[in-house]
Amino acid sequence: MSSLAETKTGQHYIDALRQRFPSTVLQEEWQTRDQVTVTVKLNSLPEVVEWLYYNQGGWISVLFGNDERSIHGNFAVYYVLSMEAGTKCYVVIRAEVDARTGEFPSVTPKVPACVWGEREIRDMYGLRPVGLPDERRLVLPDDWPDNLHPLRKDTMDYRVRPEPTSDTENYKFVNDASGETREIPLGPLHITSDEPGHFRLFVDGEDIIDADYRMFYVHRGMEKAAETRMGYDEVTFLADRVCGICGFAHSVAYATSVENALGIVVPDRAQLIRSVMLEVERLHSHLLNIGLACHFVGFDTGFMQFFRVREKSMTLAELLTGARKTYGINLIGGVRRDIQKAERDATLKLLGELKKEVAELVDMLLDTPNLAQRTSGIGRLDPKVARDYSPVGPNVRASGIARDTRADHAPTGYKLFQLPVRTKDSCDVLGRVLIRVEEFFDSIHFIEQALANMPVGPLLVEGFKYTPHKFGLGFVEAPRGEDIHWSMLGDNQKLFRWRARASTYANWPPLRYMLRGNTISDAPLIVASIDPCYSCTDRVTMVDIRKGKSVTVPYQEIERYGRERKNSPLK
């Protein structure tokens, strides 16, 4: 512990916090040299978080509750702030919530980025954020019983499915428009990707005045399943399945969180293999999104070509891990598979082909007049909105904000080779596409460099000690932005609490502001530009409020209209 004390990064944040808010800090606990958890008095929680967020350059990474009644009698809420101005580190603000009152002051009025997290704490633990402006459910479905809070330790078994309490959806969509608008629901079910959503666009003619959406139709209860059903060392394989695109990123984030909690130092070679695989994952994910961008602007030939070339990056994953997706090579303490010489040579050959072919395709895409015409100035994410909502990945980087976990917190093998942080100031869909293109080539460069300079050594740490109730954060930059996991170990070789936050979770809340002021035909393009775990909706119902009649149009129709912009289905 003495070596930890000497190299602490970010101590001055805590000192300044103690000075600014005297006698507020109750406890200070360091998990790693740049990760600290500070317990503060419950009533000063909003001020402390606000001060760290706006005055000290913090960003909300994730917030969550924890049922710690079995440990000290109270619930706890955790607000994880990624400090990115000057000294970079993670500061976790923790406050204990009385189990009898179950109330804590909401931070959302001061820091809007907390809105989803606090709504989720309300659903999952039944704790009431006092002053939260939006008290609708977030995660639980409309027909879920009122007093059943799934993540409380004493409520329910993870296999229980309660009887639905209502037959109709009663979720209220919010519309901030001042005048009269038409309402266009997109969704809710049967989405090609893994996260279906229900969009409600409020339009005046062709213009989107406001938008609201509901997610979590396929909430799988993974956190509960991991806490009750699986051993902590098996959860890496479950984390691989959090997402169909960036699963490996989650697996690394989870493994890192436990390693940080237990103080395990992963060997360099294992760390670099993890980074190489993360970049391989980025290759295929970015190609997928660039392909989709082609599709949504009506350049379908480009879509086909990008998807053809993408197959090479899938082969790369199969070659290096034994599976195209769900790589399954992570264990707590390292990786299970080495990269041999034959595999390295084959990888370098494939990378060379990819680089050449993608460069040609990108040239072609950028030469297509349609692209700039359809994407430039569309779906603007205002830097001010971005600052308030803490979005991540290419989404925030296209608004001129250089947030990249790989550079800010250098997880896993990124300490060894630096990657440039790509930003654009255009704030639009085009900027996000261009950032992905640049990052694609950076990733190829990174893999080549890493393979040429792979450190020698073991792949796995064995014989570490499992210590109950230790906790820590794990984080990686997934293709769509920061994935962050928080794990607390139990006393039974299981997890006490696992919080996994996918990058898209941070990108949904500001989407509403990105949709405003654009036309309906741009909506699919804007939604696709954050590269969500959602890409397509089943059908569209349009409600004409003025005439009081509704029309149902198949989704293909609105997608076709998005591409061709002829024969509006609204007429």
Partner 1 sequence: MLKLFKTILKTGDATLKYPFAPAPVCDNFRGKPEYTPEQCIACGACAVACPPNAITMKARPEAGTHTWELFLGNCIFCGRCEEVCPTKAIVLSKEFELAVGNKADLYQNATFRIANCACCGKPFAPQKAVEYAIDVLKQTGANAQVVEERRKLLETCSDCKRKQSIHAGEMIELRRYLDEGKDA
**Structure tokens that stand for 156 in this block:** 């329910």
- Cα(5)–Cα(260) distance, rounded to whole angstroms? 16
Question: What residues between 264 and 303 interact with partner 1 by CB under 8 A?
Answer: 301-302
Residue 157: CB minimum distance to partner 1, A? 16
Rule CB under 8 A: is residue 323 a binding residue for partner 1? yes
Q: Out of 136, 336, 469, 512, which residue is the one contacting partner 1 (CB under 8 A)?
A: 336
132 within 8 A of 119, measured Cβ to Cβ: yes
Closer residue to partner 1 (CB): 159 or 172: 159
Rule CB under 8 A: is residue 319 a binding residue for partner 1? yes
Residues with Cβ within 8 Å of residue 525, at least 6 apart in sequence: 293, 296, 297, 374, 375, 378, 379, 429, 562
Q: Is the dihedral of CA 385, 391, 394, 397 positive or negative?
A: positive
**What single-letter amino acid sits at 180?**
E
Residue 367: CB minimum distance to partner 1, A? 8
CB atoms within 10 A of CB 150: 20
Rule CB under 8 A: is residue 305 a binding residue for partner 1? yes
Rule CB under 8 A: is residue 230 a binding residue for partner 1? yes
**Structure tokens that stand for 22 in this block:** 């005297």
Closer residue to partner 1 (CB): 264 or 319: 319
**Structure tokens that stand for 31 in this block:** 């998990």
- Nearest-CA neighbor of 256 among 243, 241, 228, 275? 275
Residue 3: CB minimum distance to partner 1, A? 34
Residue 334: CB minimum distance to partner 1, A? 13
Q: Out of 164, 221, 322, 457, which residue is the one contacting partner 1 (CB under 8 A)?
A: 322
Encode burial over 27-56: b for 16+ CB neighbours within 10 A, e otherwise: eeebbbbbbbbbbbebebbbbbbbbbbeeb
Residue 323: CB minimum distance to partner 1, A? 5
Rule CB under 8 A: is residue 353 a binding residue for partner 1? no
Closer residue to partner 1 (CB): 246 or 515: 246
Helix (H) or strand (E) run with residue 250 in it: helix 247-262
- The CA-CA-CA angle for residues 411, 61, 493, to 5°, reads 65
Residue 346: CB minimum distance to partner 1, A? 9
Rule CB under 8 A: is residue 313 a binding residue for partner 1? no
Rule CB under 8 A: is residue 326 a binding residue for partner 1? yes
Closer residue to partner 1 (CB): 154 or 363: 363
Q: Out of 148, 350, 364, 410, which residue is the one contacting partner 1 (CB under 8 A)?
A: 364
Q: Out of 38, 124, 361, 530, which residue is the one contacting partner 1 (CB under 8 A)?
A: 361
Phi, psi values for residue 100, rounded to 5°: -80, -45
Rule CB under 8 A: is residue 410 a binding residue for partner 1? no
Closer residue to partner 1 (CB): 356 or 384: 356
- Nearest-CA neighbor of 502 among 120, 85, 86, 31? 120
Site string for partner 1, 231-260 (x = CB under 8 A): ---x--xx--x-------------------
DSSP, res 79: E
Question: What residues between 105 and 134 interact with partner 1 by CB under 8 A?
Answer: none
Helix (H) or strand (E) run with residue 361 in it: helix 341-367
User: How many residues of this chain bind partner 1 (CB under 8 A)?
Assistant: 22
Closer residue to partner 1 (CB): 74 or 368: 368
- Three-state DSSP class for residue 267: coil
Q: Out of 163, 167, 363, 462, which residue is the one contacting partner 1 (CB under 8 A)?
A: 363
Interface residues with partner 1 (CB under 8 A) are: 230, 234, 237-238, 241, 301-302, 305, 308, 311, 315, 318-319, 322-323, 326, 328, 336, 360-361, 363-364
